[in-house]
Structure 1
Amino acid sequence: MPTTDRTAGGRRNIDALLRRSPLQPVFRARAARRLAVLAYHGVDDPAAFRAQMERLARTARPVGPDEVARAAEHRRPLPARSVLVTFDDGDRTVLTEALPVLARLGIPAAAYVITDLIGTDQPYWWTEAAHLVRHGARAEPLHGLGPTAAVRRLKDLADPERRRALAELRTTATRQAPRQRQLSRADLHTLADAGVAIGSHTASHPCLDRCADADLDAQLLGAHERLARWMGRPPTTFAYPNGNYDPRADRVLRTLGYRTGFLFDHRHAELAPAHRLRISRLRVNSHTGRDRFDTILSGLHPAVHRLRGGR
């Protein structure tokens, strides 16, 4: 059996053991008094995603970002078992795969988009970087690193250095990254008209805590102004790229009138979040298996993840 298959099988066995653990009912009862904000990206397994959403429709109380904002602003807790579905980056599968399911089940959601990519065929910078490294690209800060480690290192660099390293990768790779069709402005309206709130995920998705003041302001203001112009109203919900919170961004977002801001920290949130621009989210994928999905919703998986030193 290949190593990757054995690893995946081991993880499935652990997920099954966790779901059947005597701790699971305890965590599930506690989770009923917490807000679960699910942080997806694309939908690469439509059947599994449909099963996940059908489960939420049966057992949870789906809410939208405006309901979360009102609960935070008025300090009035949301109903028990509230869950908010979110998508980062604006992958087209949110439109083609997720939206039909969400609309059929009446589940509200939020999609956080990278405005520089709207209407283009540019790949995400991190998928581009991984592709370039796989095809022989070199950059001094990434010496000796494979694709995954190189992307992790790029996220840790000061943003000007990240951009220089990307430029170097592009000039040294034997093959450029394939193009990737992104959402259009019309697609954003289709999503919004069907109950998916369109939020900001910055202009180009840098890690904000690695940006200089002027660059941070430009990322937030540029994305905000574009979305306000495209949608006919300013966005009021935001997701931090890579989940990297920055107090400077918090101040700018408050000035711009944002009502909610979301992390990527694999934790439950409060039913009336005390820090409305720093709300926790749970990491999940469309291909997350049933056992792990259950323990993510209960909070048992996040707790074990933290005990193992996960971020």
Structure 2
Amino acid sequence: MTIPRAVRQPGQAPDEAARRAPGGPLQLPRGRASRRLAVLTFHDVDDAAVFRAQLDRLRRTASPVSLGEVEAAVRGGAPLPPHAVLVSFELGHRTAATTALPALAACGVPAVAFVVAGLVDTEQPYWWNEAEYLVEQGGWARGLSSRPQGLPGGPGRAGGVAAALAALPDPDRRRSLQELRVTARRQAPGTPQLTSADLLALRDAGVVLGNHSLGHARLDSCDDYVVREEVQGGHHRLARLTGEEPRAFAYPDGVFDGRAEPLLRGLGYSSAFLTDGALFDLRGASGGRPDPLRISRLQVNTGTPRGLFDGVLSGWNPAARRLRGAVAV
């Protein structure tokens, strides 16, 4: 199954009738809209009907673009159309293949899926979900006992333990997680992850597969060796699984780390993505070219209110403006 692209000429704006239709996007000046890219990133697509409705609205009111078009525009090639939107998926949730892919194919919307390569073909839960479960089962760790009490749920309690662990240096995070496993009454249940077959299905359908590290360790908490293992290890395993070397990277937790840049450039990456809740300005700093290894993204899901979703498609920046009175799609 290959995702058919919606017919659109380079630089063509969304259909004018759709732009005037009730429920269409709020309009911005053309120049402002044409220089901003909205990169939407979904985690778990847990409602197929709502996701399909979101894609339908995207096609009617914005311009879905591919990763290749984005990379070309960032290099100074053909400009993106007004209200350009790139759809992405993160963490490697299986719903990218089982739920999202049929909707993408039906709507002709291109996408990129960022994969935690070390989790493919496993049932290993995400470490933050595992930590929360273990704490609920009475698990404790010395590295969490002295964490400040300002975190949701408090240190060592469900709701705050993931944030507390994320704030630790990576060796301490790994050690604390292992202590939670030893001291908890029960181990966390498995989480079916993307399989090798899922990856090939996504690739064959035209979804670009990107590297989201080997084990999703937050890079700014890692030493140089682990940063290299997370970036290069994820790259090489994904290449072995798919037969293609990834060219796009998503920073774990969306947090940039400068040590990754030379590694990514050395591996031939064309783009890398943050998760900073902002639109990406294609003008770059001081009107120059933007940095292809620091492309902004917005996190959305099937529960994102329709008003906010439409605002993003129209070029509103959620980091700068809050929408009120929104209703679900």
1:215 deviates by 0.9
- Give the AA of the match of 1:227: L
Does the 8 Å contact 1:44/1:287 carry over to 2? no
- Give the AA of the match of 2:127: W
- Give the AA of the match of 1:192: R
**Structure 1 partner of 2:262:** 251
1:153 deviates by 1.4
**Structure 1 partner of 2:301:** 285
Q: Please, which of 134, 143, 157 is the counterpart of residue 141 of structure 1?
A: 143
Secondary structure of 2:132's aligned partner: helix
Q: Please, which of 154, 157, 161 is the counterpart of residue 165 of structure 2?
A: 154
Secondary structure of 1:74's aligned partner: coil
Deviates more, 1:285-294 or 1:240-249: 285-294
Show CA shifts across 1:151-181 (max 9, x none).
Answer: 1111111110110010011111112111011
**What is the TM-score with the length of structure 1 in the denominator?**
0.86
Does the 8 Å contact 1:28/1:299 carry over to 2? no
- The 5 A counterparts of 1:34-53 are 34-53=36-55
Does the 8 Å contact 1:82/1:271 carry over to 2? no
**Structure 2 partner of 1:263:** 274
Does the 8 Å contact 1:78/1:272 carry over to 2? no
**What is the TM-score with the length of structure 2 in the denominator?**
0.81
- The 5 A counterparts of 1:97-246 are 97-143=99-145, 144-145=154-155, 146-246=157-257
Q: Which runs of 4+ in 1 moved over 6 A?
A: none
- Give the AA of the match of 1:122: Q
Secondary structure of 1:131's aligned partner: helix
Does the 8 Å contact 2:248/2:272 carry over to 1? yes
- The 5 A counterparts of 1:17-56 are 30-56=32-58
**Structure 1 partner of 2:319:** 302
1:42 deviates by 0.9
1:25 deviates by 5.0
Higher helix share: 1
Distance 1:186 1:254 in 2: 29
1:32 deviates by 4.9
Distance 1:260 1:65 in 2: 9
Secondary structure of 2:220's aligned partner: helix
Does the 8 Å contact 1:75/1:272 carry over to 2? no
Aligned residues: 282
Secondary structure of 2:88's aligned partner: strand
Secondary structure of 2:175's aligned partner: helix
Distance 2:240 2:28 in 1: 47
- Residue identity over aligned pairs, in percent, reads 49
Secondary structure of 1:112's aligned partner: strand
Structure-2 change in CA distance of 1:71 and 1:26 (3 Å): closer
Across the aligned residues of Structure 1 and Structure 2, the Cα RMSD in angstroms comes to: 1.8
**Structure 2 partner of 1:81:** 83
- Give the AA of the match of 1:203: L
- Give the AA of the match of 2:219: L
Show CA shifts across 1:244-293 (max 9, x none).
Answer: 10111011101100001000000001246610010000111121121221
Larger RCO, structures 1/2 (Cα 8 Å, 6+ apart)? 1
Runs of 5+ in structure 2 lacking a partner? 1-25, 146-153, 285-289, 323-329
Distance 1:254 1:192 in 2: 23
Secondary structure of 2:294's aligned partner: coil
Distance 1:45 1:29 in 2: 35
Distance 2:52 2:31 in 1: 25
Show CA shifts across 1:182-202 (max 9, x none).
Answer: 111111010011121110000
